Amino acid sequence: MKLRRFRTDEATELVDLPGASLPDPDTPTPVRFLPTWDASLLVHCRRARIIPEEFRNLIFSTKMPQSLGTFLVDGTVAGTWRVEGARIRTEGFEPVPIKWRQEVDEEAAALARFHA
């Protein structure tokens, strides 16, 4: 398979499909909700790429086999989520910056509608 190759400032190799469109470099990463067992979390459970090390033990525990549902803010795990009745309850590991709070709330509402 032919792939287009890039290097980050830290010399990490990134690949993409030839001819695929690329977003403007200043495009913010959207808020995303990840479920338990999400491959992104499992792959990075021991690396700080998307899970800051200080929060890893809040997501993975030796007392339960699965991770918690998490949400990403600007591409990094920022807290957990769970279904409570007809809504999604979010808990940030730190206060979610105001510029992201509305997007987290909107994504939580969309996920609640999906679970309904």
Q: Tell me: the pLDDT tens digits for 85-100?
A: 999 999 999 999 998 9
- Tens-place pLDDT, residues 42-87: 775 556 678 888 888 888 777 776 778 999 998 889 999 999 999 9
The residue segments making up the domain with residue 51 are 29-115
In a domain, 66, yes or no: yes
CA torsion through residues 106, 109, 115, 116, sign = negative
Q: What angle do CA 110, 111, 114 make, to 5 degrees?
A: 90
Phi, psi at residue 89, to the nearest 5°?
A: -100, 125
Quick check: is 8 in a domain?
no
Q: Residue 112 has what pLDDT?
A: 96
Q: Is residue 111 part of a domain?
A: yes
- 19 has pLDDT over 90: no
pLDDT of residue 21 exceeding 80, the answer is yes
Where do we find the tokens 């009745």?
Answer: 85
Domain count, the chain: 1
Domain assignment of residue 41, yes or no: yes
Q: What is the pLDDT of residue 66?
A: 72
